[in-house]
Structure 1
Amino acid sequence: MNPQPPAPTCIRHPDRATGLACTRCGRPSCPECLRPAAVGQHCVDCLGQDQRAAPRMRTVAGAAVARSAIPYVTYALVAANIVIFAITVVQSRSLVDNYYGSPLFAHWMLVPDLVAHGQWIRVLGAGFLHWGPLHLAMNMFALWVVGRILEPALGRTRYLAVYLVGLLGGSAASMIFQDSNAAAAGASGAVFGLFGAITVFLIRVRQNPNQMLILIGINVFISFSVPGISLSGHLGGLLAGTLAALGVLFVPEWLRATSQEAVRSIGWASIAVVGLVDLIAIGLAAAALA
């Protein structure tokens, strides 16, 4: 009498005998390692291979659709602005007048003449300073509202790049048009850049941009009417963010890019060009003041 052959064991759990097998690869698998399929049942290895091979869904900007809807970059930017504001509050010992007696505020606020004499950190650092809690709250609320929509659409890295390009655009405009000894600070240039970018996005996906255009118009009017607000910084950020978003969302289509790689490359190149123009403008303004 011939002995019965040993029962097959699960390919992933050799200590488990099983009479089941993957209907795709044929390998024996235990119930824990099998998943229902349209025909039969597939092992987790085959399912993982399918998931890796399947193309990821992408947004109109060419960004892979994030597995999490949480706008991490937006929250990180809000947190960074709040932390820096808190530092200035502690240094100045004042919640309202945090710009008096704070060494960080004094070293980072944008003063064109000081930038022209080598204090380049002000070009970037000023975008994270705020004149009191109301200024901070208004900018962070706008960043939070816009960022939740724009970050998933552009992708996290491109969204951050557009934010920084808008910040630098605001600094460049302030360097050119602001009085050389006047001080400017705030994330408004970057936020206005996001305003322009989300308006371009709405047009790209064929949504009505009128609400954003009205919001931009109201903010520009306030910037123009209220003394002490940097109109040039707001408009510079708006222009830079709008141009960067056009490069990401429309230029690939205009150039008839067919592959996702080309779409991403053209978008990044467009952002880089706008950022380079920002830096050149800052450099030329500084050279004129030196």
Structure 2
Amino acid sequence: MPPPPTDQVPVCPRHPDRESYVRCQRCGRPTCPECQRPAAVGIQCVDCVREGARTVRQGRTVFGGSATDGRPLVTMTIIGICVAVYLLQQVVPGLTNRIAFVPALADTEPWRFLTSGFAHGPIYHIAFNMYALWIMGQYLEPLLGRARFVALYVLSAVGGSVVYLLMSTPQSYQDALLNGPGSWYTSAVGASGAVFGLFGAFLVLQRRLGRSAAGMYVIIGINAVIGFVIPGIAWQAHLGGLVTGAACAAAIGYLGRAKGPMQPGDRRIHWAALAAVGIVLVLLAVARYSTA
């Protein structure tokens, strides 16, 4: 009996030189052992497995962020940036003065509203801020999703600078040396405003989830007292970050979210609300400079 024609021998589409009598349960094409993937029922080819992965709905956190593997990559990146900037401050003369927030200069050098949040003073300053950032980031970043966490951190840092500006008074440089933080010519540095933004977000989100946040109230209270007792601490930036972070968290936790899974439209509302927070901060800064 003559052999069957070669065009009737099933071959793997990805490897035409290989005969295969096993077919994919999804598309029905022959698939060789190298291209076979075990499925819930039978075998699927690699192409169908890849296509299925693209069509599977991406996991979301309770507040609509993209589910991750739990590693706080954004938090670690921010810590790395702050440490790198701190090291540069020690070796680059004048760097701190160029990136610190100074109300008298920030109207023409607006990057100071954000860059000041990555610079620090003494070693204990950066040590405390990075420790607090690490603790809060491990909880908030997976909960919000990385993109929302970045927005929260950046807006809180800027919010701290804006409130520091709003509560500053246009004084001469000589008067500023005597009056300390809050005057028009006094600089402010540190991630404290952004960290306090994370504190504020934690309070709001814990309340939204029906969880206790009693310990955080104690931490905020202690830091508030320290800000008034120890000279040289820009408590205005702490206040601004706290309020801004709470506002961002309220937008994420309460706007557009009905009972049940969060919908794509809710996420658009959240981003619009976060953008609105940013616009308000810009308008407040512009208004303050226009009346100075």
1:83 Cα deviation from its structure 2 partner: 1.2
1:141 Cα deviation from its structure 2 partner: 1.1
1:4 to 1:257, Cα distance in 2 relative to 1, 3 A:
closer
Q: Is the 1:131–1:185 Cα contact (8 Å) retained in structure 2?
A: yes
Matches within 5 A, 1:248-267: 248-253=252-257, 260-267=263-270
CA–CA distance in structure 2, aligned partners of residues 120 and 10 of structure 1: 61
Secondary structure, in 3 states, of the residue corresponding to 1:35? strand
1:25 Cα deviation from its structure 2 partner: 1.7
Partner of residue 115 from structure 2, selected from 99, 110, 125: 125
Question: Which residue in 2 is equivalent to 1:152?
Answer: 142
The residue identity in structure 1 corresponding to 2:21 is G
Question: Which residue in 1 is equivalent to 2:89?
Answer: 88
1:203-258: per-residue Cα shift (whole Å, max 9, x none)?
A: 2333222222222222222223222111111011000011011101211226x898
The residue identity in structure 2 corresponding to 1:115 is A
Secondary structure, in 3 states, of the residue corresponding to 2:17? coil
The residue identity in structure 2 corresponding to 1:27 is R
Matches within 5 A, 1:132-281: 132-177=122-167, 178-253=182-257, 260-281=263-284
Normalization by structure 1: what TM-score?
A: 0.88
Q: Is the 1:74–1:151 Cα contact (8 Å) retained in structure 2?
A: yes
1:107 paired to 2:98: yes
CA–CA distance in structure 1, aligned partners of residues 118 and 262 of structure 2: 37
Secondary structure, in 3 states, of the residue corresponding to 2:256? helix
CA–CA distance in structure 2, aligned partners of residues 12 and 74 of structure 1: 42
The alignment yields a C-alpha RMSD, in angstroms, of: 1.9
1:3 paired to 2:3: yes
Secondary structure, in 3 states, of the residue corresponding to 1:62? coil
CA–CA distance in structure 1, aligned partners of residues 185 and 27 of structure 2: 73
1:9 to 1:214, Cα distance in 2 relative to 1, 3 A:
same
Secondary structure, in 3 states, of the residue corresponding to 1:253? coil
1:177-202: per-residue Cα shift (whole Å, max 9, x none)?
A: 12212221111001111111122222
Question: Which residue in 1 is equivalent to 2:172?
Answer: none
Q: Is the 2:64–2:262 Cα contact (8 Å) retained in structure 1?
A: no
Q: Is the 2:62–2:262 Cα contact (8 Å) retained in structure 1?
A: no
Secondary structure, in 3 states, of the residue corresponding to 1:16? coil
- Percent identity over the alignment? 39
Matches within 5 A, 1:16-55: 16-55=18-57
Q: Is the 1:11–1:29 Cα contact (8 Å) retained in structure 2?
A: yes
Question: Which residue in 1 is equivalent to 2:174?
Answer: none
Q: Is the 1:126–1:185 Cα contact (8 Å) retained in structure 2?
A: yes
Secondary structure, in 3 states, of the residue corresponding to 1:242? helix
Question: Which residue in 2 is equivalent to 1:78?
Answer: 79
The residue identity in structure 1 corresponding to 2:89 is T
1:259 Cα deviation from its structure 2 partner: 6.2
1:259 to 1:71, Cα distance in 2 relative to 1, 3 A:
closer
Which consecutive residues of structure 2, in runs of 5 or more, have no partner in the other structure? 168-181
The residue identity in structure 1 corresponding to 2:160 is G
CA–CA distance in structure 2, aligned partners of residues 22 and 119 of structure 1: 62
1:204 to 1:32, Cα distance in 2 relative to 1, 3 A:
farther
The residue identity in structure 2 corresponding to 1:261 is P
Normalization by structure 2: what TM-score?
A: 0.88
CA–CA distance in structure 2, aligned partners of residues 281 and 78 of structure 1: 29
CA–CA distance in structure 2, aligned partners of residues 38 and 155 of structure 1: 30
1:69 Cα deviation from its structure 2 partner: 2.6
Kindly tell me the number of residue pairs found equivalent between the two proteins: 276
Which consecutive residues of structure 1, in runs of 5 or more, have no partner in the other structure? 92-101
